[in-house]
Amino acid sequence: MKSSRTLGLVMIAPAAIMIVLFFLMPVVLTAVFSMTSMTTATGISGGVYQIAPNSLIALKSAIPDIAAEMAEPRYTIDEAGLKAVEGLGLAPGIAGELRAKHAGEVFTARRDVERMLKELADRPSTRDVKQISEQFNRSVLNTRFDSKEQLFSALDSLGFKLTPEQKETVAKVTYTGWVWTTDNFSRMTTSPDMARVLLNTVLYVALVLMLFNVGYALLLAIWTHYMPPTPASIFRGIWLLPRITPVVIYVMLWKWLAWDTGFISILMGKFGYPPKNYLLDNAYNAWFFVVLINGFIGASMGMLVFSSAMKAIPKSQFYASEVDGASRWQQIRYIILPQMRWPILFVTCYQTLSLLASFNEILLATNGGPGNATEVWALSAYHTALRNYAGNLEYGLGAAMALVLVVIGVTLSLLYLRVFNYGTLVAKPLIED
Amino acid sequence: MTILPTLKSLAVAAAILASTSAIALAKDVHISVWAGGTGPNDVYRLDAIEIAAQQLQREAALKGEDLKITVEKKPYSAWEDFKQALTLAAEAKTAPNIVVSGHEDIAPWSQAGLIVPIEDYVDLDSWPLSDIYENLLQIASYNGTVYGIPQDAESRPMFFWKPYMKAIGYSDADLDALPQSVQDGKYTMKNLLEDAKKMQDKGLVQPGYGFYPRTSNGPDYWQFYTSFGGTMEEGGKLVFDKAAMTRTYQFFADAVKSGVTKKNHIGMPGDQWWKEVATGKAGIWDGGTWHYARLVNQEGLKDFFGNVIFTLIPAGEGGKANTLTHPLVYLLTAGHDQEDTEIAAQLVKIASEPRINALHAVKSAHLGISKSESTVEFYSADRWTREATERLLPHANAMPNNSDFGKYWNIMWKNLEASWTGAKTVDAAVSDAESELKSTLGDKIVIR
């Protein structure tokens, strides 16, 4: 018994590892990222400490005197620097000439000291000039320090007298990486645009789900149910086309239909209407097409599930009802629909989750336009975290938005499990008792 | 007798040493270059590096080094894809050696440590870098450090379809004087909308085609903000000027309201827009100097100067006529072997030589980067580059290099689009932008 359990654990191990790696980890990482201020500017792998002119702006209000001093770049030709130059293994005349002609000089800009170096008799190469000038750098400006300790020791060695609190302030202001924060969530709750996006998402899921993924799918299943088998199969096959067509081509076809130069415009042109971009003409049009584009894809799955469920209804029930003189409507009303309860619930649940997370068709068709009218939550998270013109990718905020979707998805899944009464589904069959 | 084996072994050792030193001298370097926003006219962004590689190999040969440089080129036509790919590649430590991107990326990328300052590798005092326009080098700098070398300069003029301007009453002399009167602030944004309306009322262009601006997000829209008196950055801090932004949003809302611009203009297919402006379907539009190359080379507009006149972006209320230069810059990415980065820097330097850069300027209708480039006959003989340089470049602003500018830009654009399409009123859009900027950037932006 015990060994079979161990064996079971071993057998399941690959699947368990897969689940942890590909299902659990992304969610955990999304949750972790959502609590950070990560953007393109902060990087992902962590930051450094850099006293740069832009960070000094903030420091000026906290410790003005010291900030002003830090802002001063200084290149001093001192003995320590000259010794260091001697150690570089360059032409010996360089250090000698520097000591003789320039000892004690102070330069405020790197380019000035480098210009002086280029005047030396043994003119060093560009690379050497950079190396030499660095030996005389007596400023912390623009140097990148990997750790706080390095920053503090550099400040100490340059004679900055800072209290521990002031040091911490300097470290905080000059840190270039991301920090832990809950700002993403407060930004989400306060932004009027986010509320709009959420509303769009609810509208999108509800419309596509009710009109197509369930409603139209059921209609198609019923239609084909009453058709002779061959035309029914052909009809179902045609309805599968949007599902199996590559999404880019499928959306391109819709665009050809609805653009200024597209089919509708040409057709309406025959009746004297000027061409216009029907797809992006206004928010209503955009929604109309977004719902159609997604609906035609989604309807096929519901149709297949419903058709097979209808096939499972014993034919005898239909024959009996025909004998009793039932109309088609009565058959639908009293035989089909009551027995379709579970398939309908299943399709509703499954498609809600799919629609919540899907955005590729909208991205290709309207890219969330016009004026963000069709920007749904998942698309907005993608735009925020991974793709925008300005190139400032806000990973943290995007992750926080994605996390909201995860939470909604998990909550809904749990709710559905309860509705489907998962317990009874996996219970031992009574027949074996 | 015993000396012979010693000699032999010494000879063998010397031979081995000689062969290894020969191997050490033969250096095979692989340099990869990625360029964003690169269409068929912009190939010299990448090819210039290849030309430079040949030059550097020859220079190395003269110094007795056997240097072989292979350049791997990767153009990206769109910006979104390019910036996403580059950022993620750099984070994964697989970035190319050289990147050609907009100067505004310098701030976030340098802060994140994705790029290294080019001034650490090249001598800015030597030619051709010493000859590059000082303001362009400024634009390629951040925190007082030169991070990139300008790859091109450009500006974003306003274009007018000449025959329609004549049809609504402008004489040839008026049209010749138009650039100057825009520059002097006599011809304003108000006049522009009026003229666009006149063109439509006369039936010269269809409704919505009077003023036909850029169809997607881009730096162009900051020119309108400047035109209405807005400032992007002051003293290192970003600035959101509510009144100027209101006037900017209002301008587009008014254009839509009066019917000279389409409500659904944003997001329309780019190819369609190009075809329409090249064939005189639109009356007035804005675009970049490089549009000249596309209109003439790809869209079949043969008599450009006969059909089109270009000016600065006219002044709006509270502002001045302006244009924006958005130089692309050559940047060096971090995380590579020092010697490779050094070679990459040398290639950038050579690629910036006037005659090589002129190939890009003339082919793509961008503007030159250095003073001597305008003395290259190949460049100065080209009417477009000559006129555009003279008329536009002296009035060009640039977007700020600020690591938070991207966030500001996203918020500005989102609300401009919303007020344009009527999804929000202008006041609501400005106040939404304000509250989002406050919560996003806090005291890093001055709101006034």
- Per residue in A283-317, pLDDT (tens digit) is 899 999 999 999 999 999 999 999 999 998 998 99
First to last CA, chain A: 22
Contacts of A172 (CB under 8 A, 6+ apart): none
Least CB-CB distance to B112: which of A43, A281, A283? Answer: A43
Minimal CA–CA distance to A285: which of A264, A261, A267?
Answer: A264
Smallest CA-to-CA distance from B104 within B321, B325, B384 is with: B325
**Cβ contact B263–A282 (<8 Å):** yes
Q: Which of A105-119, A331-345, B110-124 has the highest mean pLDDT?
A: B110-124
Backbone angles phi, psi at A226, to 5 degrees: -90, 0
Nearest to B164 by CA among B332, B349, B308: B308
Yes or no, beta carbons of A53 and B79 under 8 Å apart:
no
CA distance B76 to B36: 5
Report which of A340, A85, A358, A356 is spatially closest to residue A201, judged by C-alpha positions.
A356
Burial of residue B435 (CB within 10 Å: 0-12, 13-18, 19+) is middle
| Span B37-49, pLDDT tens digits | 999 999 999 999 9
The whole-angstrom distance between B351's CA and the closest CA on chain A is: 18
Cβ–Cβ of A41/B112 closer than 8 Å?
yes
Per residue in A229-256, pLDDT tens? 899 999 889 988 988 999 999 999 999 9
Closest-approach residue (CA) in chain A for B339: A127
Phi, psi (degrees; rounded to nearest 5) at A49: -110, 120
Interface touch A391/B105, C-beta < 8 Å:
yes
Residue scoring higher pLDDT (A395 or A9): A395
CA neighbor of B364 nearest in space, from B418, B262, B292: B292
Amino acid sitting at position B212: Y
Q: Which one of B87, B106, B109, B111 would you mutate to disrupt binding with A, by most A Cβ within 10 Å of its Cβ?
A: B111
* Tokens 């590798």 belong to residue: B121
Please give the full DSSP string across A297-366, using - where no structure is assigned: HHHHHHHHHHHHHHHTS-HHHHHHHHHTT--HHHHIIIIIHHHTHHHHHHHHHHHHHHHHH--HHHHHHT
Which class for B74: exposed (0-12), middle (13-18), buried (19 or more C-beta within 10 A)?
middle
Instruction: Give yes or no for A258 touching B (CB within 8 A).
Output: no
Chain A residue numbers touching B79 (CB-CB < 8 A): 389, 391
Q: Which residues in chain A are contacts of B423 at CB distance < 8 A?
A: 283, 370-373
* Residue A108 near chain B (CB below 8 Å): no
Specify the pLDDT at position B15.
54
Q: What is the pLDDT of residue B5?
A: 58
As a residue count, chain A comes to 433
Asked if A371 and B417 come within 8 Å (Cβ–Cβ), the reply is yes
Helix (H) / strand (E) element for B72: namely strand B66-75
pLDDT per residue as tens, chain B (448 positions): 445 555 565 555 555 554 444 444 578 999 999 999 999 999 999 999 999 999 999 999 999 999 999 999 999 998 999 999 999 999 999 999 999 999 999 999 999 999 999 999 999 999 999 999 998 999 999 988 999 999 999 999 999 999 999 999 999 999 999 999 999 999 999 999 999 999 999 999 999 999 999 999 999 999 999 999 999 999 889 999 999 999 999 999 999 999 999 988 998 888 889 999 999 999 999 999 999 999 999 999 999 999 999 999 999 999 999 999 999 999 999 999 999 999 999 999 999 999 999 999 999 999 999 989 989 999 999 999 989 988 898 899 999 999 999 999 999 999 999 999 998 999 999 999 999 999 999 889 999 9
**Percentage of the residues of chain A whose pLDDT score is greater than 90:** 50
Chain A residues with CB-CB distance to B435 below 8 A: 190-192
Greatest alpha-carbon span in chain B? 110
Interface predicted TM-score of the whole assembly (ipTM), two decimals: 0.88
pLDDT given for residue A2 in this prediction = 63
Instruction: Assess B279–A contact: CB distance below 8 Å, yes or no.
Output: no
pLDDT in tens, A58-78: 888 888 888 888 887 789 999
Answer yes or no: are the C-beta atoms of A218 and A306 closer than 8 Å: yes
Kindly report the backbone phi and psi dihedral angles of residue A303, in degrees, each rounded to the nearest multiple of 5, phi listed first.
-60, -45
Mean pLDDT of the A205-212 span: 95
Tell me the shortest Cα–Cα distance from A152 to chain B, in angstroms. Answer: 20
- Chain B residue with minimal CA distance to A187? B439
Report the C-alpha gap between A264 and A289 in whole angstroms.
13
Alpha carbon distance B176, B160 (integer Å): 12
Q: Tell me the C-alpha distance between B180 and A153, whole Å.
A: 59
Question: What pLDDT, on a 0 to 100 scale, did the predictor assign at position B22?
Answer: 45
Nearest residue in chain B measured CA to CA from A278: B264
Cβ <8 Å between B87 and A393: yes
B262 touches chain A (CB under 8 A): yes
Question: Which residue, chain included where needed, has tokens 């928010």?
Answer: A283
pLDDT band for position A4 (cuts 50, 70, 90): confident
